[in-house]
Structure 1
Amino acid sequence: MTQIDRDTDALVGEWLTLRQAAAALNVSPNRVKQMIREHKLLGATRAGEVSVPAAFVVDGTTPKGLQGTLTLLADSGLTEEEALRWMFTADDSLPGTPIEAIRSNRGTEVRRRAQALLL
């Protein structure tokens, strides 16, 4: 898990601790750690504790398209912190941030942009 800087922390905004994320997803904290390893979630160390962005949990699950996007970002060579910044930075062509687009069921557009990072 990466220790993130203040700018990225502020960009993400709301976070869930490992235990909070596990409760919201109705899984164990160990399962959340596994989801982070499998690129189903992104995690970061904040104040000595592993946390995930609250925006990655919707109605007890992860948004459709999140895992594919996170995998593409990892395959592009982005670090966890770079991927977090990318997911939460506004993109005028979407419009909004990639995570907002994914949560609005526009994941295909986001994955196209993530795939362009591979080229």
Structure 2
Amino acid sequence: MSEHVLATEWLTIPDLVDQLGLGVSRVRRLIEDKHLGAKRVDGVLKVPAAFLRDGEPLGELHGTLIVLADAGFDDEEAVDWMLTEEESLGATPIDALRAGRKAEVRRVAQALA
């Protein structure tokens, strides 16, 4: 699956601490609670920059990551899915979410279960 993931800018935990103005433990909690998706890239836990908007986690991301977890996706698979062109959306799920197509993205995610 990951060979189709579009190139993206990745943020490390220290990057997120700077961008969000939060402590390391709070940033890790955002990831654990699925407000942000993260995966290991070259052994380092990273979050796609597209998962943030205006210095905050993208609000629509949380519910979508929960739906993916309920569908059996682990964190890494969920991040890959969000960044992979989805034919039925005509875009990557994260781009569709950022464009305000939350219900459509979640419908597609639910159908994966």
TM-score by length of 2: 0.87
Q: How does 1:1-119 map to 2 (within 5 A)?
A: 7=3, 11-118=6-113
- Look up the equivalent residue of 1:33 and give its one-letter code: R
- Look up the equivalent residue of 1:66 and give its one-letter code: L
Structure 2: stretches of 5+ with no match in the other structure: none
Percent of aligned positions that are identical: 43
For the 8 Å contact 2:39–2:79, the answer to whether it is kept is no
Cα distance, 1:62 vs structure 2: 1.6
Q: Which runs of 4+ in 1 moved over 3 A?
A: none
Q: Whole-Å Cα distance in 1 between the matches of residues 49 and 11 of structure 2?
A: 5
For the 8 Å contact 1:15–1:52, the answer to whether it is kept is yes
Q: Whole-Å Cα distance in 2 between the matches of residues 89 and 64 of structure 1?
A: 20
1:81-119, Cα deviation, whole Å (9 max, x unpaired): 21122111112322210000111111111011112223x
- Number of equivalent positions: 113
For the 8 Å contact 1:64–1:103, the answer to whether it is kept is no
TM-score by length of 1: 0.83
RMSD: 2.0
